[in-house]
Amino acid sequence: MRILITGGAGYIGSHVAKALIERGGCELSILDNLSTGSQATLEALARMGSFQFFHNDLSNKEALSEIFSRNRFDLILHFAASVEVFESVQNPLKYYFNNTLNTAQLLDVALEYGVKKLIFSSTAAVYGEPREIPKEGIDEEHPLKPINPYGQSKIMSERIIQDVARAHPDFKFVILRYFNVAGADLQGRIGQATPKATHLIKIAAECASLKRPWMEIYGEDYPTPDGSCVRDYIHVEDLAQAHVRAMEYLIRGASSDIFNCGYGRGYSVKEVVQKSKEVSGVDFEVRMGGKRAGDPAILVAQSAKIREKMGWEPLYDDLALIIKSAYEWERGRW
Ligand SMILES: NC(=O)c1ccc[n+]([C@@H]2O[C@H](COP(=O)([O-])OP(=O)(O)OC[C@H]3O[C@@H](n4cnc5c(N)ncnc54)[C@H](O)[C@@H]3O)[C@@H](O)[C@H]2O)c1
């Protein structure tokens, strides 16, 4: 299998690259503009196995065509995107250009060069503020009503991919809707290196590692048990294995489909902060702030479909372990 990973120098893409290197049987290429991804991540991956690296921007069609003409890819894992919800509210066009239009462009070139399989990184943000939260979490049929441009940019990308697959019946996709991804490689070689990341567990790990003096909780009057937002945190290693399963699923010739990736259990922001203090033993300062635009109160996945259809079984469904791996990586990072 010749595989192209867009955004492979970033947080999730690099963990998937690592999982594929460990699995073997793949020739890997990574394309990244290093806007949020890092050279250090690529160097850490290079110590694990070999891959080609293309320092390119997805918006550069000429460069993209050149890469595809020289490499006959069998499958694309498309991670490259802008990923900050709050930034998307302030600068929506950045999200529509980088996420939606660049996905269309990537598909255009992929079709031209006969690539027939795509795995796409989508997000729970496509569900917006869920109508009601069933006990077992939100399933893939839940109404799609994103409440921020980031979620909109992803739902438009999903629709483009689905339309392309309808028009080209031999083109197959898996769309994975991730809930809140956290944690790091359990051997501490790679982690979330993204500068200025706004992810809760990452920020708490920075505070616990004394890289940040304090952190803020955004809103404590949500309709949740302790008033702070509730999210479903999935360990990045489990998410990486979901991609390996998705690749094998497409190789088996299974039909195109959409799957949630989460554990089906939510933790509040306050619970995560408390657990981060316990795990690290550091009582860092926490301030209460106002609500941010675009933050739904509760997002918890129902993950029965991916378990049943792909046989995915998470190994690290443990909040303390997720936090510990993020914290240990943050403390020891390059
Ligand atoms: N982190 C999460 O909790 C989460 C949740 C849901 C979905 N996702 C999705 O997962 C994917 C990866 O997210 P991440 O958290 O690893 O973010 P990240 O910022 O660490 O990784 C994104 C990578 O894409 C690269 N990139 C961005 N725009 C590019 C372009 N135009 N051309 C080439 N490379 C480009 C960046 O340099 C970076 O290496 C994204 O599509 C995101 O929407 C992430």
Q: How many H helices and E strands in the chain?
A: 12, 14
Residue 35 CA to ligand 1 center (angstroms) comes to 10
Residue 223 CA to ligand 1 center (angstroms) comes to 30
Is residue 290 included in any domain, yes or no?
Answer: no
pLDDT confidence tier of residue 137, bands split at 50, 70 and 90: confident
Question: What is the token pair recorded at 90?
Answer: 């302030």
Write down the pLDDT at residue 87: 93
Distance separating alpha carbons of residues 84 and 89, to the nearest angstrom: 9
Q: To which residue do tokens 């809930």 refer?
A: 179
Write down the pLDDT at residue 93: 98
What's the number of domains the chain is made of? 1
Q: Which atom of ligand 1 is least distant from the CA of 150?
A: 43
Range of the domain at 75: 2-182+234-262
Q: To which residue do tokens 């796409």 refer?
A: 120
Among protein residues, the one whose CA lies closest to atom 21 of ligand 1 = 10
The residue length of the chain stands at 334
Spell out the residues 6+ positions from residue 289 whose beta carbon is closer than 8 angstroms to its own: 216, 217, 218, 219
Distance separating alpha carbons of residues 125 and 260, to the nearest angstrom: 11
Q: Which of 30, 34, 36, 126 to mutate to test the pocket of ligand 1 (most atoms within 8 A of CB)?
A: 36
Q: Which of 4, 30, 31, 32 to mutate to test the pocket of ligand 1 (most atoms within 8 A of CB)?
A: 32
**CB of 38 shorter than 6 A to ligand 1:** no
* Residue 178 appears among annotated catalytic residues: no
Among protein residues, the one whose CA lies closest to atom 12 of ligand 1 = 79
Q: Read off the DSSP letter of residue 303.
A: -
Is residue 88 included in any domain, yes or no?
Answer: yes
Q: Which atom of ligand 1 is least distant from the CA of 34?
A: 37
**CB of 60 shorter than 6 A to ligand 1:** no
| Lowest model confidence (mean pLDDT) among 20-34, 66-80, 262-276, 287-301 | 287-301
Distance separating alpha carbons of residues 3 and 31, to the nearest angstrom: 11
* β-pairing verdict for 117-123 and 27-32: unpaired
Q: Which atom of ligand 1 is least distant from the CA of 193?
A: 20
Question: To 5 degrees, how large is the angle CA 18–CA 23–CA 26?
Answer: 85
Is residue 125 included in any domain, yes or no?
Answer: yes
For residue 142, give the CATH number of its domain.
Answer: 3.40.50.720
Residue 119 CA to ligand 1 center (angstroms) comes to 14
Highest-confidence range of 193-197, 258-262, 293-297, by mean pLDDT?
Answer: 258-262
Residue 14 CA to ligand 1 center (angstroms) comes to 10
Across residues 97-119, what is the average pLDDT?
Answer: 98
Residue 83 CA to ligand 1 center (angstroms) comes to 6
Cβ(171)–Cβ(111) below 8 Å: yes
The DSSP element (H or E) to which 29 belongs, if any, is: strand 27-32
Q: Read off the DSSP letter of residue 97.
A: I
**CB of 105 shorter than 6 A to ligand 1:** no
Is residue 327 included in any domain, yes or no?
Answer: no
Cβ(159)–Cβ(104) below 8 Å: no
State the catalytic residue, choosing from 11, 96, 150, 178: 150
Q: To which residue do tokens 């963990």 refer?
A: 15
Among protein residues, the one whose CA lies closest to atom 41 of ligand 1 = 79
The mean pLDDT value of the chain amounts to 95
pLDDT confidence tier of residue 334, bands split at 50, 70 and 90: low
Question: What is the token pair recorded at 22?
Answer: 């460990």
Is residue 104 included in any domain, yes or no?
Answer: yes
Is residue 193 included in any domain, yes or no?
Answer: no
Across residues 304-328, what is the average pLDDT?
Answer: 97
Q: To which residue do tokens 């939260």 refer?
A: 133
pLDDT tens, 43-55?
999 999 999 999 9
Is residue 213 included in any domain, yes or no?
Answer: no
pLDDT greater at residue 320 or residue 297: 320
pLDDT tens, 139-186?
999 999 998 999 999 999 999 999 999 999 999 999 999 999 999 999
Write down the pLDDT at residue 14: 98
Q: Which atom of ligand 1 is least distant from the CA of 83?
A: 43
Write down the pLDDT at residue 196: 82
Q: Which atom of ligand 1 is least distant from the CA of 14?
A: 16
Is residue 285 included in any domain, yes or no?
Answer: no
